[in-house]
Amino acid sequence: MQKIAMTTPIVEMDGDEMTRVIWKMLKDELILPFVELKTEYYDLGLKVRDETDDRITTDASNAIKKYGVGVKCATITPNAARVKEYDLKQMWKSPNGTIRSILDGTVFRTPILIDSIKPAVRTWKKPITIARHAYGDVYRAVEYRVEQPGKAELVFTDKGGNEISRQCIYEFDGAGVLQGMHNRDASIRSFAHACFQYALSVKQDLWFSTKDTISKQYDQTFKLLFEEIYEQAYRAAFEKAGITYFYTLIDDAVARVIRSEGGFVWACKNYDGDVMSDMVSTAFGSLAMMTSVLVSPDGNYEYEAAHGTVTRHYYKYLAGEETSTNPMATLFAWSGAFKKRGEMDGLADLQRFGESMEKAALQTLQDGVMTKDLVGLVEGETPKAVSTADFLKAVRERLERLL
């Protein structure tokens, strides 16, 4: 069989622990036999990040900007224990955070659904994608614990030192708490563009929700900027694609989401996205079945699994045990990258290959062959629990039949 050709490389970012092991297994079993793979390889494993003073992460991010498509393995975000374990020069920042700030991107998380795993919400039939604004609000807030009576004010001073605005927040007659937070129009605009573009690329409705009735400046700004960008840049394309942009209050959105069938993109402010993505992924089944894509406002795409490096399984693997770690989200990261690369470069075969990888993987689960994490979630059949290696072999058999 002739291997499928590529023209432009995909930026390949290797990672750590169990997912690094899966990365190689998956490439050997499902990709290299079928694709004349062209990647620009960056090893984001913790050792190389430390050796290069984390320059490798910046280089990889810039490469995504150059080529437009990247695929990333899960990586360790070091904490104090990791600094000791890997004898690190310093506690390097989260690679995902670095990539996100260089690409100025928005993260979209979508669950992979199969018939035999029923979502906890009975009405959900199609996946719900959460788009989380990953800048500002409470994550960049300044806080103060008030210990005595006194007055708190919100003061804005311009560059020349002139006081432009002063408002009383509260006159305390005892102890209490205070918080000051911000966001920037530029960041909100980027978020809006990424959401509209993503909704168009998956041809699904876009929902957006804030609490603008209560927050008449802050949340209202989010609502107005989204509206303005939609009218100026996306309304026509949405109408042509037969999809809609729908704004509603966050509490109304929550009620509608629960009653919905799914099948849309839900754009959320930073805190809402943090909370709702955990709720939605749990209600759909398992973190091991969550895919994640970072989309920049200028149209670069970085695909990955939403889960981490699965450390607990890695130690079992190191001890010589055969592990049953679920490679689905990593597989969908690769297939997503192939589909996007194929679409961008006009390579129908590559696009079809990405689709076939997904079909083969879903068929394997449909046939009841799955890793241990899913076995307890399945209803209406008796599944067969297999190791990661055997799962990938089962996917390969089905993939070969599809090609």
Residues of the shown chain interacting with Mg ion in the complex, contacts defined by CB under 5 A: 274, 278
CB of 223 to ligand NAP, least distance (A): 30
Asked whether the beta carbons of 236 and 169 are under 8 A apart, the reply is no
By C-beta, is 129 or 324 nearer to Mg ion? 129
User: Could you identify the residue written with the tokens 């374990």?
Assistant: 85
Helix (H), strand (E) counts: the chain: 15, 16
- Secondary structure (3-state) at 104: coil
CB of 269 to ligand NAP, least distance (A): 21
CB of 283 to ligand NAP, least distance (A): 16
311 binding partner (options Mg ion, ligand NAP, none; Cβ < 5 to 8 Å by kind): ligand NAP
By C-beta, is 29 or 272 nearer to Mg ion? 272
As a whole number of angstroms, the distance between CA 270 and CA 276 comes to: 10
Q: Is 385 in the site for ligand NAP (CB under 6 A)?
A: no
As a whole number of angstroms, the distance between CA 18 and CA 23 comes to: 9
By C-beta, is 255 or 275 nearer to ligand NAP? 275
By C-beta, is 290 or 360 nearer to ligand NAP? 290
- Secondary structure (3-state) at 208: strand
Q: 13-27: string of b/e by CB count within 10 Å (b at 16+)?
A: bbbbbbbbbbbebbb
Among 31, 56, 60, 74, binds ligand NAP (CB under 6 A): 74
CB of 326 to ligand NAP, least distance (A): 3
As a whole number of angstroms, the distance between CA 255 and CA 232 comes to: 30
Q: What is the DSSP string of 165-185?
A: EEEEEEEESS-EEEEE----H
Burial class of 252 by CB neighbour count within 10 A (0 to 12, 13 to 18, 19+)? exposed
As a whole number of angstroms, the distance between CA 303 and CA 349 comes to: 20
302 binding partner (options Mg ion, ligand NAP, none; Cβ < 5 to 8 Å by kind): none
CA 28 to chain centre: 25
Q: Is 75 in the site for ligand NAP (CB under 6 A)?
A: yes
201 binding partner (options ligand NAP, Mg ion, none; Cβ < 5 to 8 Å by kind): none
Residues 265-324 contacting ligand NAP, CB under 6 A: 287-288, 304, 307-312
As a whole number of angstroms, the distance between CA 375 and CA 371 comes to: 7
For the chain, the C-alpha Rg in angstroms (whole number) is: 23
Asked whether the beta carbons of 47 and 78 are under 8 A apart, the reply is no
76 binding partner (options ligand NAP, Mg ion, none; Cβ < 5 to 8 Å by kind): ligand NAP
By C-beta, is 278 or 381 nearer to Mg ion? 278
Residues 89-148 contacting ligand NAP, CB under 6 A: 96
Q: Nearest to ligand NAP by Cβ — which residue?
A: 308
Which residues are 108's β-sheet partners? Answer: 131, 293
By C-beta, is 308 or 368 nearer to ligand NAP? 308
By C-beta, is 77 or 116 nearer to ligand NAP? 77
Q: Is 50 in the site for ligand NAP (CB under 6 A)?
A: no
CB of 189 to ligand NAP, least distance (A): 26
Show the site string, 321-350: x = touches ligand NAP by CB under 6 A, - = not: ----xx------------------------
As a 3-state breakdown, the chain gives helix, strand, coil percent values, each rounded to 5, of 45, 20, 30
By C-beta, is 234 or 266 nearer to Mg ion? 266
Q: Is 77 in the site for ligand NAP (CB under 6 A)?
A: yes
Residues in contact with ligand NAP by CB under 6 A are 74-77, 96, 287-288, 304, 307-312, 325-326, 373
